[in-house]
């Protein structure tokens, strides 16, 4: 698998991460033996890279990695101070029609302590599907923009489930009936959460970066079926 490169300079490489690939091995994914993103990049470039932030294994989209380990903290400081603007797109169950800020603590995977978490959610499009999904005669979906101001593990997935609009393809926090319908009717089994854009001022070069990641194939299939123009 060749990883798509969105931007590269002497300090960082920005890639479009596919669905279902771990960034690196971890205790929480110890049963997954597939090649990690770092493995694939090392094979592709014959060198090591150092993740500056993270995406869930099932999430696709923009990821920034440092070329020198000592520079990781410089870029992480941008994330910690919210000097990097991140926007995700998600496809969720139900009609979502009003912008809201979700303030709901999320449990830390290591300490089991709940930490403050905040997500801005904005509606982009809706679709009424004539396919029945238990217990209703039809099904409703929304395309939403998600902007996290904190970076908790599974934050977006937990927050959307919290407001009863779980992300399609999420088998941990989502709705199994809608997930199954997307699989059987549309042949789409991946999580519909995509890190779409990333904007920040490069701390070394001073260049303003405005990056965008193309969607996985499943997304374009749904855009066409639902007549969504993105």
Q: Indicate which CATH number applies to the domain containing 10.
A: 3.30.2350.10
Q: 82 pLDDT exceeds 90?
A: no
Residue range 108-131, pLDDT digits in tens: 777 789 999 999 999 999 999 999
- Checking if the pLDDT of 56 tops 80, the result is yes
pLDDT at position 27 over 60: no
- The mean per-residue pLDDT over the stretch 143-170 comes to 96
> Averaged over 74-85, what is the pLDDT?
92
CA distances from 12 to 18, 60, 164 (A): 19, 19, 38
Binning pLDDT at 50, 70 and 90, where does residue 31 land?
low
Contact (CB, 8 A) for 25 and 35:
no
Number of domains in the chain: 1
Q: Which of 9, 34, 39, 56 is catalytic?
A: 56
- Find out whether 218 and 82 touch, Cβ atoms under 8 Å: no
Quote the pLDDT of residue 72: 97
Domain boundaries, position 170: 4-226
pLDDT of residue 29: 56
pLDDT at 50 over 90: yes
Q: Is 175 assigned a catalytic role?
A: no
Out of 26-35, 156-165, 183-192, least confident range: 26-35
Q: What contacts 23, CB < 8 A, 6 or more positions away?
A: 17, 36, 37, 38, 51, 54, 55, 57, 63
Instruction: Give the residue among 21, 68, 4 at the shortest CA–CA distance from 190.
Output: 21
- Is the pLDDT confidence value at 33 over 90? no
Tell me the average pLDDT across 140-165: 96
What is the model's pTM?
A: 0.94
């Amino acid at each position: 698998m060749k990883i798509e490169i969105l931007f590269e300079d002497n300090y960082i490489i920005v890639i479009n991460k596919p669905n279902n690939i771990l960034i690196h091995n971890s205790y929480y994914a110890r049963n997954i033996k597939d090649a990690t993103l770092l493995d694939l990049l090392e094979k592709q470039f014959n060198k090591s890279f150092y993740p500056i932030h993270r995406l869930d294994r099932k999430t696709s989209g923009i990821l920034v990695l440092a070329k020198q380990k000592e520079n990781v903290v410089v870029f992480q400081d941008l994330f910690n101070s919210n000097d990097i603007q991140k926007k995700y797109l998600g496809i969720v169950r139900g009609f979502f029609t009003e912008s809201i800020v979700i303030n709901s603590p999320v449990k830390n995977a290591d300490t089991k302590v709940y930490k403050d978490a905040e997500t801005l959610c904005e509606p982009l499009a809706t679709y009424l599907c004539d396919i029945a999904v238990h217990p209703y005669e039809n099904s409703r979906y929304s395309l939403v923009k998600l902007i996290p101001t904190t970076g908790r593990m599974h934050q977006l997935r937990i927050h959307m489930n919290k407001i009863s609009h779980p992300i399609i393809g999420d088998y941990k926090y989502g709705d199994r009936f809608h997930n199954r319908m997307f699989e059987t009717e549309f042949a789409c089994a991946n999580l519909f959460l995509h890190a779409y854009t990333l904007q920040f001022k490069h701390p070394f070069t001073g260049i303003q970066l405005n990056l965008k990641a193309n969607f996985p194939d499943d997304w374009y299939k749904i855009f066409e079926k639902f007549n969504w123009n993105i």
